[in-house]
Chain A
Amino acid sequence: MTTSTVTAADTSALLDVCKRIRRHIVEMTHAAQSGHPGGSLSATEIFAALYFGGVARHDPANPQWGRRDRVILSKGHATPVVYATLAEAGYFDREVIPTFRALGTELQGHVVRNKPPGVEMSGGALGMGLSFAVGIALGHQLDGLADDEGQIFVVVGDGELNEGQNWEAIMSASHFGLHRITAIVDRNHFQNDGPGDEIMRIDPVGDKWAAFGWGVQHVDGHDVEAVRDAMLTARARSDAPQVVICETVKGRGVSFMAENPAGWHGKGPSDEQLAQALEEIDGGLT
């Protein structure tokens, strides 16, 4: 029987993985001259902790392993962080990364289920991931999986929470008692048109989830150990669905992106910008 083959990396290894993921993100959006670097960089520690911190149980050699945990990117535009992570985890060859968004590639602009293996859900239209997770959790319940098997981690954007369907899903997850679901909010304070507080305020966002019956944790989303520990705590809970609200910076790790998040929602860096970005990433988060 297959089990998760992935063992948890220590802190220095996790920091290293974050650097490699960030490099891939800027390189692939540079190669494509499009794509979404801002919301990928803000979610880097989240994905590193999920796949390398011993949070999600998964097996890159057997992506369809029936008792695996599911990681779902609901904000389906942040494909660079997903592809970077899956490549680093061994789901597909790193050589494929530069084909991001090219004709005929597996690495589509927005997530497509099983392309590459490891992508659990098609997305790109915001707001559907939590509902999809509710369906998986109901299926796992019917199949009689053990409490700690088949967990579902759903990464949602803060702007994405404007979509009403999320709240339908949040309501139904607690109604059905689906403790296998952990939502992770990439709280980077920006959406497509600008700052969330100007476009559509979601605060007090933690209180809203709590009012819908979820367990809530707040964490610094760029402290990879803190993110990992919060998700492990959430994973271990079997009383209610859990949400980890990760306080992040859109574009984190690349100064000119982090200083102008609205300008870096969906575009690729130039040659010079790429060189600067790689240099800063190698220096680590300051």
Chain B
Amino acid sequence: MTSSSPAAIPVPPPAAAREAYGPALVKLADAGHDIVALDADLSASTGGNKLAASHPDRWFTVGAAEQNMISIAAGLASTGKTVYAASFAVFMPGHCFDQIRVQIAQQRMNVKLIASHGGISVGEDGASAQAIEDLALMTSLPGMNVVVPSDAVEADWAIRRAAEDNEPWYIRLGRPKLPIIHLDESISRFELGHAERIREGDDLTLIACGLMVEPTIRAADALADEGVGARVLNMASIKPLDEEAVIQAAQQTGAIVCAEEHNVIGGLGSAVARTLAAHCPVPMEQVGIEDRFGQSGPWTALLQEYGLTAESVAVAAKRALARK
């Protein structure tokens, strides 16, 4: 790894987390990993078609049949392959939860579920296409690793890191092009079960994942202007959760805000609340989707409508501080 001074790093153009998948697969196959990737008639959107082009023998599409895809993935894994299966987060796990439960999780198969188009930021397609409950489903499965990268760089790290073990993973990727947060690989890399500390602060801690990390950093900067020191944790690894980082944050800063593009029930906030309740209860506020379904609209307008903004995080921070 080369380390260069941050000033020398050109700011890359915004990219969607999902764009990392195809190139990551190709890198893995080029490096000689015994991977096989499956798609279910959405390979142009997931990026799986990149592997189809570069290593056609390593890629299969099963057509629009997600249940079949998941059980096929399990069968392939039983022959010793590292299997990636990709679809949209509404269809996988939404359309094949029992197959994931019995054949991937209970059998502890070496299958990496890559769910693109997670959350409401899918936009115009509306409620049926917007996964707001996938993290609840996936974190409830024993042995399943659940990861929500914050940008395309972290997504690339996570997708390739998953190939290094034999465990089942669920990686949720987003559709919109977002600013790159991870500008320099030498600064910090994705690690399963480890929070990434992005801002230091002692007054409270903001914990975010996925598309909410960038606005949460902006919220921290705005709070800093008002003299509030907000620590920021990027919690891409929701399961296993970095409980130590959560407990430390509670002990050292005394208040927590969680921010995620998911129902406030069953996602990052629930996981953090469970840890706080057991080890160090402090005031906690959530920014997320308040138990309602999505709808059509431009993704930026939807984030406003559902309160998934830097302003919402800052307001929640003040609520949490007032309860300290």
Q: Which residues of A contact B (CB under 8 A)?
A: 112-113, 120-125, 127-129, 131-140, 142-143, 164-165, 168-169, 171-172, 176
Asked if B198 lies at the interface with its beta carbon under 8 angstroms from chain A, I say: no
Contact of B78 among A127, A129, A135, A172 (CB under 8 A): A135
Contact B102 A169 (CB under 8 A): no
Closest to B66 in A: A168
Interface 1/0s, chain B 96-125, versus A by CB < 8 A? Answer: 001101110011000000000000000000
Contact A138 B72 (CB under 8 A): yes
Contact A135 B63 (CB under 8 A): no
Residues of A within 8 A of B76 (CB): 135-136, 138-139
Residues of B within 8 A of A142 (CB): 36, 57-58, 79, 81
Of residues 194 to 211 in B, which have CB atoms within 8 Å of A's CB atoms?
none
Q: Name the distance in Å between A162's Cβ and chain B's nearest Cβ.
A: 14
Asked if B77 lies at the interface with its beta carbon under 8 angstroms from chain A, I say: yes
Q: How many residues of B contact A (CB 8 A)?
A: 29
For the complex, give the distance between the alpha carbons of A124 and B102 in Å.
8
Q: Name the distance in Å between B93's Cβ and chain A's nearest Cβ.
A: 14
Contact B71 A132 (CB under 8 A): yes
Residues of A within 8 A of B106 (CB): 112, 122
Q: Which 7 A-B pairs have the closest CB atoms?
A: A135-B75, A139-B79, A131-B71, A168-B68, A135-B72, A132-B75, A135-B76
Asked if B60 lies at the interface with its beta carbon under 8 angstroms from chain A, I say: yes
Asked if B224 lies at the interface with its beta carbon under 8 angstroms from chain A, I say: no
For the complex, give the distance between the alpha carbons of A172 and B75 in Å.
14
Contact A113 B67 (CB under 8 A): no
Contact B36 A125 (CB under 8 A): no
Asked if B65 lies at the interface with its beta carbon under 8 angstroms from chain A, I say: yes
- A/B interface sample: 8 pairs, CB < 8 A: A113-B78, A131-B68, A135-B74, A136-B78, A138-B60, A139-B75, A139-B78, A172-B62
Of residues 108 to 152 in B, which have CB atoms within 8 Å of A's CB atoms?
none
Residues of A within 8 A of B63 (CB): 168, 171-172
Interface 1/0s, chain B 41-78, versus A by CB < 8 A? Answer: 00000000000000001101011010110111111111
Q: Which of B36, B68, B78, B79 has the most CB of A within 10 A?
A: B68
Asked if B298 lies at the interface with its beta carbon under 8 angstroms from chain A, I say: no
For the complex, give the distance between the alpha carbons of A61 and B81 in Å.
24
Contact B67 A131 (CB under 8 A): yes
Asked if B80 lies at the interface with its beta carbon under 8 angstroms from chain A, I say: yes
The verdict on A140 contacting B78 (CB below 8 Å), with A125-B98, A132-B71, A135-B73 known, is no
Contact of B102 among A125, A168, A171 (CB under 8 A): A125
